[in-house]
Amino acid sequence: MARTRPLLRWLLTPALRRGRAFARDDRGVTAIEFAILALPFFTIIAAILETSLVFFAGQILDSAVQDAARLLRTGQAQNASYTSSNFRTAICNGLYGMFNCANLRIKVSVVSTFTNATTSYPLPTGTSCTPSSCDWTMSESYAPGAGGDVVLVQTYYKWPTVVRLPGFNLQDQPDGTRLLGAVRVFKNEPF
Protein backbone atom coordinates (compact mmCIF):
# COMPACT_ATOMS: atom_id res chain seq x y z
CA MET A 1 0.00 0.00 0.00
CA ALA A 2 2.81 2.39 0.72
CA ARG A 3 4.03 2.05 -2.86
CA THR A 4 0.58 2.94 -4.28
CA ARG A 5 0.53 6.35 -2.69
CA PRO A 6 3.72 7.68 -4.35
CA LEU A 7 2.61 6.20 -7.66
CA LEU A 8 -0.78 7.92 -7.35
CA ARG A 9 0.93 11.18 -6.36
CA TRP A 10 3.32 10.80 -9.28
CA LEU A 11 0.34 10.33 -11.68
CA LEU A 12 -1.75 13.22 -10.29
CA THR A 13 1.01 15.81 -9.82
CA PRO A 14 1.00 17.06 -13.45
CA ALA A 15 -2.80 17.37 -13.40
CA LEU A 16 -2.70 19.27 -10.11
CA ARG A 17 0.00 21.62 -11.47
CA ARG A 18 -2.07 22.32 -14.57
CA GLY A 19 -5.17 22.89 -12.44
CA ARG A 20 -3.33 25.44 -10.25
CA ALA A 21 -1.94 27.18 -13.33
CA PHE A 22 -5.42 27.28 -14.87
CA ALA A 23 -6.85 28.79 -11.67
CA ARG A 24 -4.17 31.54 -11.69
CA ASP A 25 -4.62 32.35 -15.39
CA ASP A 26 -6.81 35.45 -15.81
CA ARG A 27 -6.57 36.03 -19.57
CA GLY A 28 -10.25 35.17 -20.31
CA VAL A 29 -11.84 36.80 -17.26
CA THR A 30 -13.11 39.84 -19.15
CA ALA A 31 -14.84 37.72 -21.78
CA ILE A 32 -16.48 35.56 -19.12
CA GLU A 33 -17.61 38.59 -17.10
CA PHE A 34 -19.04 40.20 -20.23
CA ALA A 35 -20.88 37.00 -21.12
CA ILE A 36 -22.44 36.94 -17.66
CA LEU A 37 -23.41 40.62 -17.67
CA ALA A 38 -24.34 41.05 -21.35
CA LEU A 39 -27.93 39.84 -21.09
CA PRO A 40 -28.95 42.07 -18.16
CA PHE A 41 -27.02 45.00 -19.63
CA PHE A 42 -28.65 44.82 -23.06
CA THR A 43 -32.05 44.18 -21.47
CA ILE A 44 -31.74 47.38 -19.46
CA ILE A 45 -30.61 49.30 -22.55
CA ALA A 46 -33.59 47.97 -24.53
CA ALA A 47 -35.97 48.90 -21.70
CA ILE A 48 -34.57 52.42 -21.53
CA LEU A 49 -34.88 52.85 -25.30
CA GLU A 50 -38.44 51.49 -25.35
CA THR A 51 -39.51 53.74 -22.47
CA SER A 52 -38.02 56.83 -24.04
CA LEU A 53 -39.57 56.01 -27.43
CA VAL A 54 -43.05 55.56 -25.90
CA PHE A 55 -42.82 58.84 -24.01
CA PHE A 56 -41.44 60.60 -27.08
CA ALA A 57 -44.30 59.25 -29.21
CA GLY A 58 -46.81 60.43 -26.61
CA GLN A 59 -45.35 63.94 -26.72
CA ILE A 60 -45.36 63.97 -30.52
CA LEU A 61 -49.03 62.93 -30.56
CA ASP A 62 -49.92 65.55 -27.95
CA SER A 63 -48.14 68.29 -29.89
CA ALA A 64 -49.77 67.30 -33.20
CA VAL A 65 -53.25 67.34 -31.62
CA GLN A 66 -52.50 70.74 -30.03
CA ASP A 67 -51.50 72.21 -33.41
CA ALA A 68 -54.49 70.72 -35.24
CA ALA A 69 -56.89 71.83 -32.49
CA ARG A 70 -55.60 75.37 -32.92
CA LEU A 71 -56.98 75.27 -36.48
CA LEU A 72 -60.43 74.55 -35.05
CA ARG A 73 -60.19 77.07 -32.20
CA THR A 74 -59.25 79.92 -34.53
CA GLY A 75 -61.86 78.98 -37.17
CA GLN A 76 -59.30 78.24 -39.89
CA ALA A 77 -60.57 74.68 -40.31
CA GLN A 78 -64.22 75.76 -40.45
CA ASN A 79 -63.51 78.56 -42.96
CA ALA A 80 -61.56 76.12 -45.14
CA SER A 81 -64.45 73.60 -44.94
CA TYR A 82 -62.31 70.88 -43.34
CA THR A 83 -63.72 67.38 -43.32
CA SER A 84 -62.69 64.64 -40.91
CA SER A 85 -60.06 63.45 -43.38
CA ASN A 86 -58.62 66.99 -43.66
CA PHE A 87 -58.43 67.20 -39.87
CA ARG A 88 -56.77 63.75 -39.72
CA THR A 89 -54.23 64.97 -42.28
CA ALA A 90 -53.57 68.07 -40.16
CA ILE A 91 -52.80 65.83 -37.19
CA CYS A 92 -50.74 63.42 -39.29
CA ASN A 93 -48.61 66.27 -40.65
CA GLY A 94 -47.30 66.79 -37.12
CA LEU A 95 -46.53 63.12 -36.42
CA TYR A 96 -43.30 63.01 -38.46
CA GLY A 97 -44.07 59.57 -39.88
CA MET A 98 -43.83 57.86 -36.48
CA PHE A 99 -47.49 56.76 -36.51
CA ASN A 100 -49.67 54.88 -38.95
CA CYS A 101 -52.29 57.59 -39.46
CA ALA A 102 -54.92 55.09 -40.56
CA ASN A 103 -54.85 53.66 -37.01
CA LEU A 104 -55.52 56.98 -35.27
CA ARG A 105 -58.89 57.25 -33.56
CA ILE A 106 -60.18 60.84 -33.68
CA LYS A 107 -63.34 62.30 -32.22
CA VAL A 108 -64.21 66.00 -32.40
CA SER A 109 -67.43 67.00 -30.68
CA VAL A 110 -69.21 70.08 -29.41
CA VAL A 111 -70.11 70.08 -25.71
CA SER A 112 -72.43 72.50 -23.96
CA THR A 113 -70.00 73.58 -21.20
CA PHE A 114 -66.51 72.76 -19.98
CA THR A 115 -67.95 70.72 -17.11
CA ASN A 116 -69.80 68.52 -19.60
CA ALA A 117 -66.56 67.72 -21.44
CA THR A 118 -66.03 64.15 -20.32
CA THR A 119 -64.00 61.43 -21.93
CA SER A 120 -64.52 57.71 -21.71
CA TYR A 121 -62.06 54.89 -22.21
CA PRO A 122 -61.96 54.23 -25.98
CA LEU A 123 -61.45 50.45 -25.72
CA PRO A 124 -63.43 47.69 -24.03
CA THR A 125 -62.37 46.91 -20.48
CA GLY A 126 -62.23 43.66 -18.56
CA THR A 127 -62.51 40.31 -20.26
CA SER A 128 -64.25 41.67 -23.37
CA CYS A 129 -60.87 42.73 -24.78
CA THR A 130 -58.80 39.73 -25.87
CA PRO A 131 -55.46 39.66 -27.73
CA SER A 132 -57.16 38.74 -30.98
CA SER A 133 -60.09 41.14 -30.61
CA CYS A 134 -59.63 44.49 -28.93
CA ASP A 135 -61.69 46.85 -31.08
CA TRP A 136 -62.44 50.48 -30.39
CA THR A 137 -65.60 51.36 -28.49
CA MET A 138 -65.30 55.08 -29.25
CA SER A 139 -66.92 56.01 -32.53
CA GLU A 140 -65.16 58.56 -34.68
CA SER A 141 -66.90 61.84 -35.41
CA TYR A 142 -66.07 65.33 -36.59
CA ALA A 143 -68.11 68.31 -35.38
CA PRO A 144 -65.83 71.35 -35.10
CA GLY A 145 -68.57 73.73 -34.01
CA ALA A 146 -69.03 77.41 -34.69
CA GLY A 147 -67.56 80.51 -33.08
CA GLY A 148 -67.97 80.49 -29.29
CA ASP A 149 -68.70 76.73 -29.04
CA VAL A 150 -66.89 74.53 -26.54
CA VAL A 151 -65.15 71.74 -28.45
CA LEU A 152 -63.68 68.46 -27.22
CA VAL A 153 -60.96 66.86 -29.37
CA GLN A 154 -59.92 63.29 -28.49
CA THR A 155 -57.22 61.34 -30.31
CA TYR A 156 -56.03 57.83 -29.43
CA TYR A 157 -53.47 55.45 -30.87
CA LYS A 158 -52.38 51.92 -30.01
CA TRP A 159 -48.58 52.07 -29.93
CA PRO A 160 -46.87 48.67 -30.49
CA THR A 161 -44.41 47.62 -27.79
CA VAL A 162 -41.36 45.45 -28.38
CA VAL A 163 -39.78 44.69 -25.00
CA ARG A 164 -41.98 42.38 -22.94
CA LEU A 165 -40.17 41.29 -19.82
CA PRO A 166 -41.43 40.24 -16.40
CA GLY A 167 -41.39 43.32 -14.20
CA PHE A 168 -40.97 45.65 -17.19
CA ASN A 169 -43.75 45.71 -19.70
CA LEU A 170 -45.10 48.93 -21.16
CA GLN A 171 -48.05 47.28 -22.88
CA ASP A 172 -51.38 48.04 -21.28
CA GLN A 173 -53.58 46.28 -23.84
CA PRO A 174 -53.94 42.51 -24.33
CA ASP A 175 -52.85 42.78 -27.96
CA GLY A 176 -49.34 43.94 -26.97
CA THR A 177 -49.87 47.67 -27.47
CA ARG A 178 -49.89 50.74 -25.26
CA LEU A 179 -52.73 53.22 -25.54
CA LEU A 180 -51.53 56.76 -26.23
CA GLY A 181 -54.00 59.60 -26.08
CA ALA A 182 -54.24 63.35 -26.43
CA VAL A 183 -57.30 65.39 -25.45
CA ARG A 184 -58.01 69.11 -25.84
CA VAL A 185 -61.00 71.09 -24.61
CA PHE A 186 -61.31 74.70 -25.72
CA LYS A 187 -63.77 77.41 -26.59
CA ASN A 188 -63.73 78.48 -30.21
CA GLU A 189 -62.86 82.08 -30.86
CA PRO A 190 -65.71 84.23 -32.22
CA PHE A 191 -64.85 83.94 -35.91
Distance (Å, whole) CA 32 – CA 25: 13
In contact, 73 and 151? CB cutoff 8 Å:
yes
Widest pairwise Cα distance in the chain: 112
Q: Minimal CA–CA distance to 68: which of 94, 97, 100, 98?
A: 94
Q: What is the value of pTM for the model shown?
A: 0.80
Beta-ladder partners of 115? none
Q: What is the pLDDT of residues 74-130, one digit of tens each?
A: 999 999 999 999 999 999 999 999 999 999 999 999 999 999 999 988 988 776 666
Query: Nearest-5° angle of CA 25, CA 30, CA 32?
Result: 85
Chain centroid, CA 179 distance in Å? 8
Q: What is the pLDDT of residues 34-80, one digit of tens each?
A: 889 998 899 889 989 999 999 999 999 999 999 999 999 999 999 99
